[in-house]
Amino acid sequence: MDIGTGKDLDEYEVDGNQIPYHLIDIHLPGYLYNIAEFQADFATVFESIHQKSKFPILCGGSGLYIETALRGHSFLGIPSDAIRRQQLETLTSNEIDEWYQKLPTSLTDKLNAKTDKRKIRAIIIDEYLKQHPDWKPRSLPDVKPLIVGVDIDRDLRRDKITKRLKFRLAHGMIEEVELLLSEHGLSYEQLDYYGLEYKWVGLYLQGGIDRDMLFERLNIAIHQFAKRQMTWFRKMEKDGFDIHWIDASKPNPIKVAMVLELLHA
């Protein structure tokens, strides 16, 4: 699952030096990896890199996964309760907020819930912890990150996304999905789980859309995803994460110098 996931492994060699990477190729195709596993795996790798006196860099990933790695707490092992959630969703926003305000500050300070959905999750977590007092979250490293974002013009971002999609379609992305189906035994339902590229190529291989529609629909979907990611990062800033935005149009040596300056500030 190299092309559809955008591993871009060639980018991990700089001036002839191979840059070590982690959490790539850790499971076989078809494995249903989840965010709780990612948080645990991130913590393990983070601690391992620190023990080697190396500098860890978290690069790429969706806003959800990045924020999950940076927050120093974990309630991801607590199962969701669909029935209880439905009950709480019948309450008004004011009623949910009143309930949320009564939760222990040891919980609300960590979760910092802003929306009804997140407050309901906090209530469910609180109830679970009261019913399971022996439950303990995994110990996570105290991450004090320098967060750097690439600030790219909207039109340029759209152009780069479209060009990249054309390149991947012309260089084996469809064939990669065909091999996942024929040699690795994945189902179309599993492709849907992986989303975006795998979902839309799977639909194309089933005859649901033609090649032109595959490009058009997938291109739109990736643009929409990119827009949602920018919204997520803005929300992170509102929640207290300090993101240093660097102009994408600047030459790479200048961008590197700016990051180094931030590191040593």
How high is the pLDDT of residue 177?
Answer: 97
pLDDT of residue 174: 97
Residue 20: its pLDDT value, please? 92
State residue 143's pLDDT score: 85
pLDDT for 149 equals 95
Q: What is the pLDDT of residue 78?
A: 85
Give all domains of the chain, ordered by start, each with its CATH number: 78-131 (no CATH), 146-263 (1.10.287.890)
Whole-angstrom distance, CA of residue 4 vs CA of residue 55: 29
Q: How far is CA 188 from CA 42, 43, 180, in A?
A: 29, 32, 10
Neighbours of 158 (CB within 10 A): 16
Each as own residue / partner, the long-range contacts of residues 110-117 (CB below 8 Å, 24 or more positions apart, any chain) are: 110/71, 110/73, 110/75, 111/73, 111/75, 112/239, 112/240, 114/239, 116/89
For residue 227, the model assigns a pLDDT of: 94
Three-state secondary-structure class, residue 170? helix
Blockwise average pLDDT, block size 10, the chain, 265 residues: 92 91 94 85 93 91 88 76 91 95 88 84 92 82 90 94 96 96 94 92 96 97 95 90 95 95 91
Residue 115 CB neighbours (<10 A): 11
Rounded to whole angstroms, the Cα distance separating 32 from 190 reads 8
pLDDT value, residue 37:
86
* pLDDT score recorded for residue 207: 95
- Residues paired with 116 in a beta bridge: none
Distances (CA, A) of 189 to 155, 192, 193, 262: 34, 5, 7, 45
pLDDT at site 72: 64
Residue 73: predicted pLDDT: 66
CB atoms inside a 10 Å sphere around CB 218: 22
